[in-house]
Structure 1
Amino acid sequence: MPQRLPSRQLEVGIVTVTDLRSEDRWPSFVEAARREKVLSLLALRMHLEGEASAGMIFYSSRPHGFGRDAMEAAHSLAAEASKGLRLVLRIVSLQETEENLGAAMASRTPTDLALGVIIGQERCSYDDALEWLFRASRTRNVSIRDLAAEIVAAADEPHPVRIHFDH
């Protein structure tokens, strides 16, 4: 029977296998563990935020290798490690957000210039130009950024080609 920690410590999920010699779940894993002379294990689900998940597994070469003290120590270690993992995940998330914002800002200038070209040529509102850009992007199956770059490049020619805008 798996040992349980007090309820205040159950925030981390626990799975114990006290004797792999009589375990019939996870046949491939059990076979590999037995080859490594693992006879019991303690698996802890670490508490993370969002969709992230992680776990920590402790192995013993003895059956019933995890008593109450070992389980509490393992739980404490997993709880501390999860704090570090949460911090790393936050940092990675912030870096991804920064990169995404940078990419958005980099594509904004050409898009704004393209909208200016459309407004100037068609004498239309900003909203009409924006709608045209979205529609043309979908119709041509190109990104707004690429389409905007084409429009700006065409407008920058010595004898600019008039771009035809369908309303």
Structure 2
Amino acid sequence: MSASSPLHEDAAGGELKLDAYLPYRLSVASNAVSRLIARAYEDRFGLTIPQWRLICVLAEDGPMTQGGIVARTVMDKVTVSRAAQGLAQRRLVARSDHHADGRSHVLTLTTEGARLHAEISPLALAYEAALIAGLSPEEVALLKRLLVRLQGAADALTGTSPA
């Protein structure tokens, strides 16, 4: 972007300039990346982004309740529930009763779900590499640190605990 772009303009007198407003820029960037990735996952693997996130969490963290997945991914309960149901129907996750809470279920990645995760993971990393190709390793590290700090600040302002 040029030095005269909206991102480099100071808001005169506290005036809101949408293109320079950080929450808007974050949302637009996130939506663009999500659309790109969603197209690939849906077209090739028949997965939604929430389903892919759920598979990743189970692959990384092991069996977990839907409530645990909600906390880990910051997706809402309905989204996690729908993703879990769709994955269970495809036999990519298995649901079992929670030993301590009869209303809750534990989700576990099945062998087929683990195989799918192993197949998609390199593609996900390739998308990430393509997205950050124009950034130096130092810029990538800084971006990741800043995003974690922004999430922490948002959590503090809303009084929520970090995911």
TM beyond 0.5? no
Under a length normalisation based on structure 2, what TM-score does the superposition of the two structures give? 0.26
Under a length normalisation based on structure 1, what TM-score does the superposition of the two structures give? 0.25
The structure with more radius of gyration: 1
Greater share of residues in helix: 2
